[in-house]
């Protein structure tokens, strides 16, 4: 391999990891990992158990510990900020000192990490009422900090607050171009964690994925 091709490969791998190279910020991928294609998502959706939501009795966000320490000095939130931003630079504590973030939900741009929120695609409260109430604390922690699947995404505060704990029959991103990825991600997480869906929720997801 030539020096040029080696450098190119190194830059490509570094960009995928969302880190800085030679003191320069390298754009990271803004796509959460593991988003299935529409056909796979439709298959996952067909396998989900349809049931009415369970009780919210006993729920609190504290029962889903986050953001936990990850590799190095980073926690889960910081890892997502690095992954989903562009030209992100971080300090020794892993917190971003600069960068830009474009919210896939509504297209809003932010230049301050403190203004960016990390959304759980499948809300913690929805997980609780569709199966997570029976999980152990360790299982809920793994769910709330899942970086290997399409469960976490950096978005604008306004879109995250508008979404809250709503499901796809109640809320969809205002950015229509992201609805396929959002629906596929939602279904992938429900499938992985064996969470149930309401009839209305399944119908809405079928409608969205049917257009993808």
pTM for the model stands at 0.86
Nearby residues of 110 by Cβ (< 8 Å), 6 or more positions away: 100, 101, 103, 116, 156
pLDDT for 175: 97
pLDDT for 192: 98
DSSP states along 4-43? HHHHHHHHHHHHHHT--BTTB--PPP-SPTTPPPHHHHHH
Q: Kindly report the number of other CB atoms within 10 A of residue 194's CB atom.
A: 11
- Domain with 175, as residue range(s), is 3-209
pLDDT for 71: 87
DSSP states along 66-109? -SPB-STT-BHHHHHHHHHSEEEEE-TTS-EEEEEEE-TTT--E
Domain count, the chain: 1
Q: pLDDT tens digits for 166-205?
A: 999 999 999 999 999 999 999 999 999 999 999 999 999 9
In the chain, % of residues over pLDDT 90? 84
């Amino acid at each position: 391999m030539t020096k040029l091709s080696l450098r190119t490969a190194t830059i490509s791998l570094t960009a995928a990891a969302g880190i800085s190279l030679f003191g320069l910020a390298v754009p990271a991928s803004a796509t959460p990992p593991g988003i299935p294609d529409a056909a796979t998502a439709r298959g996952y959706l067909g396998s989900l158990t349809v049931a009415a939501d369970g009780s919210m009795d006993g729920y609190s966000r504290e029962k889903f510990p986050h953001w936990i320490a990850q590799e190095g000095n980073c926690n889960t939130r910081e890892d997502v900020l690095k992954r989903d931003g562009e030209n992100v630079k971080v300090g020794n504590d892993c917190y971003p000192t600069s960068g830009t973030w474009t919210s896939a939900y509504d297209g809003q741009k932010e230049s301050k990490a403190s203004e960016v929120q990390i959304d759980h695609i499948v809300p913690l409260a929805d997980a609780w009422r569709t199966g997570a109430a029976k999980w152990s604390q360790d299982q809920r922690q793994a769910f709330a900090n899942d970086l290997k699947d399409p469960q976490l995404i950096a978005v604008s505060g306004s879109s995250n607050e508008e979404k809250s704990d709503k499901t796809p029959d109640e809320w969809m991103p205002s950015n229509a171009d992201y609805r396929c990825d959002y629906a596929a991600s939602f279904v992938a997480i429900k499938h992985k964690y064996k969470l149930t869906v309401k009839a209305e929720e399944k119908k809405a997801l079928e409608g969205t994925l049917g257009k993808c």
